[in-house]
């Protein structure tokens, strides 16, 4: 029977593959499985550290494709969003919010698969709102990607531009979160040891996912993203 470090390595091999392929989803894959055999206070900071590495690799790989006109509005909204999310976490049932968000993601995903989502001219305020939503949802229950993902898929831009912008946005978010974990004493020696064990498997997963990603055209990539949004919504509801 595999020991705990073998399980951790396999989990991040899979998580790295998913995010290497889609540009998001590593935490969604990792945290529910990790918490089956390690404490959540160890699983969350470990996943954040690995997520930081994933986003850094993808950002460097696709740096020429980052849509700076879209990233700045997202970043402008994230800090007030995080503060709001912390307030929500203290005062509102996160289960109710996750249920509503899960239904929204499932509906959006099925709509996008059934009908072609037309490119829209999005003003900067929508980027700020998406960043705000990502920050709030991330702070409330560690699943802040969907608002930014929906915002970027509505731009109608290429798969490289969408994935690169997502990666850079998640990189900044991961840096802020990892710093907060370190300051709060959550990044323990055990977490750092787990990270050192899983790091090589994470990289293997990332580059395998990137290799598969290159096989898809923009429309195929869009459908994969929509499918993963549906899966995200289902898992949010199931894990309430």
pLDDT digits (tens, 9 = 90+) for 79-126: 888 777 667 656 666 567 667 777 877 887 787 777 665 556 667 788
Q: Supply φ then ψ for residue 228, to 5 degrees.
A: -70, -30
Q: In the predicted model, what is the mean pLDDT of the chain?
A: 81
44-67 per-residue burial string, b: 16 or more CB within 10 A, e: under 16: bbbbbbbbbbbbbbbbebbeebbb
Angstrom distance (rounded) from CA 186 to CA 49? 12
- For the whole model, what pTM was predicted? 0.74
Angstrom distance (rounded) from CA 232 to CA 139? 17
């Amino acid at each position: 029977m595999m020991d705990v470090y073998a399980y951790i390595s396999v989990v991040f091999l899979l998580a790295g593959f998913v995010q290497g392929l889609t540009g998001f989803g590593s935490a969604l894959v990792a945290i529910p499985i990790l918490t089956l055999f390690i404490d959540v206070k160890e699983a969350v900071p470990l996943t954040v550290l690995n997520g930081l590495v994933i986003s850094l690799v993808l950002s460097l790989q696709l740096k020429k494709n980052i849509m700076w006109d879209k990233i700045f509005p997202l970043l402008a909204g994230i800090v007030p969003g995080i503060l709001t999310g912390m307030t929500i976490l203290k005062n509102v049932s996160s289960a109710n919010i996750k249920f509503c968000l899960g239904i929204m993601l499932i509906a959006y995903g099925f709509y996008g698969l059934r009908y072609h989502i037309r490119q829209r001219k999005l003003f900067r305020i929508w980027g700020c709102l998406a960043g705000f939503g990502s920050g709030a949802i991330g702070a409330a229950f560690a699943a802040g990607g969907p608002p930014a993902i929906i915002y970027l898929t509505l731009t109608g831009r290429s798969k490289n531009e969408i994935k690169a912008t997502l990666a850079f946005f998640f990189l900044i978010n991961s840096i802020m979160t990892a710093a907060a974990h370190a300051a709060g004493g959550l990044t323990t020696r055990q977490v750092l040891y787990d990270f050192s064990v899983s790091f090589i498997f994470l990289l293997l997963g990332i580059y395998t996912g990137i290799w598969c990603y290159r096989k898809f055209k923009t429309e195929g990539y869009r459908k994969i993203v929509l499918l993963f949004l549906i899966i995200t919504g289902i898992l949010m509801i199931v894990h309430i």
